[in-house]
Amino acid sequence: MSNQLEALRQHSAVVADTGDFEAMRAFRPTDATTNPSLILKAVQKSEYRPLLDRVVRDHAGASTAERMDRLLVAFGQAILDIVPGRVSTEVDARLSFDTRATVERARAIMALYAAAGIPRERVLIKIASTWEGIQAARVLQSEGVRCNMTLLFSLEQAIACAEAHVQLISPFVGRIYDWYKKNQGAAWDEAANAGSADPGVQSVRHIYEHYKRAGVPTEIMGASFRNVGQILALAGCDLLTISPELLGQLQAAEGGVPRQLTPPGSTVPPGVPLGEADFRFALNENAMATDKLAEGIRAFVADARKLDGLLEAA
């Protein structure tokens, strides 16, 4: 009998959410996603520390920012030797509110991949879904640089990303779930908010239905899962990026996985373009999305600073 991981592949592309090469070899994902937190976790392991040491040794005169990018690209190159598809490499979250700096940093990362002989279609530049980040992605996409918009928690963010013609969005399931669970406190009913009733699952489903009904070509990749139930409830989403722990649970579980998301048969034209003022107001009205976007940027910045420290101390 097939296991749930193999069954899930029939409906969604499976992506590894990790910087662990051995996990990628074990679970055979199509793509892989990384972020500062995952890279920080990896380079603190003895088997991955040589990547950081090599970057420091070979580029001793470079700035910390350049060495950071070279470290991210070194991980990306190694990942692309394992996965058949794409790797997502993140622009420094400290630039999340600076469109021009984000564009320049993304171009620098892509130049490093090009110098290593990596085709640009195998790289996704990961950018936080702020207004400034989305506008940076608009510029990059027009230059042929494919973008993965991360820290996405609301339909308004998804609509703005679609209008910028981004390649892929990563709506965060688990962090939405976390917010509602914390917000409700003792009143939270885990069973009543599981599976298709999970608020994070419902958010992705809403985005999926909007995109497919409007004929938006942007790929949707569910991300940030807390349990297998959330993953199974989104079978049929274009892609799902999953941690090694949850990939292991899926692989260990026998049985089929029914498709949960199916594109609607009818389509409607997209609505009125979402301008900056409307975007900011809608995001402000969504307390969960506002809180989690800000919190996510702070967390990635904190880990980027820790990576800086490791690079400077090596």
Helix (H, G, I), strand (E, B) or coil at 91: coil
Confidence of residue 290 (pLDDT cuts 50, 70, 90): very high
DSSP H or E run through 27: helix 21-27
Q: 144-196: per-residue pLDDT in tens? A: 999 999 999 999 999 999 999 999 999 999 999 999 999 999 999 999 999 99
Active site residues: 126
- Domains, the chain: 4-313 (3.20.20.70)
Confidence check: pLDDT of 77 > 90? yes
Confidence check: pLDDT of 271 > 80? no
Range of weakest confidence among 38-47, 114-123, 202-211: 38-47
Name the pairing type of β-strands 219-222 and 147-152: unpaired
Confidence of residue 270 (pLDDT cuts 50, 70, 90): low
Confidence check: pLDDT of 1 > 70? no
Spatial separation of the C-alpha atoms in residues 59 and 141, rounded to whole Å: 30
Confidence of residue 226 (pLDDT cuts 50, 70, 90): very high
| Average pLDDT of the segment spanning 206-217 | 95
% of the chain with per-residue pLDDT over 70: 98
Confidence check: pLDDT of 234 > 90? yes
Q: 34-73: per-residue pLDDT in tens? A: 888 889 999 999 999 999 999 999 998 999 999 999 999 9
Q: What's the mean pLDDT when you consider all of the chain? A: 95
Q: Reduce the secondary structure of 236-297 to three states and give it as a string.
A: CECEEEECHHHHHHHHHCECCCCCCCCCCCCCCCCCCCCCHHHHHHHHHHCHHHHHHHHHHH
Angle between helix 287-313 and 64-80 (nearest 10)? 100
Q: Please tell me the predicted confidence (pLDDT) of residue 36.
A: 83
The larger pLDDT score, comparing residue 34 to residue 198, is at 198
pTM for the complete prediction? 0.95
**Is residue 16 within 8 Å of residue 32, measured between CB atoms?**
yes
| Average pLDDT of the segment spanning 138-147 | 98
Confidence check: pLDDT of 268 > 80? no
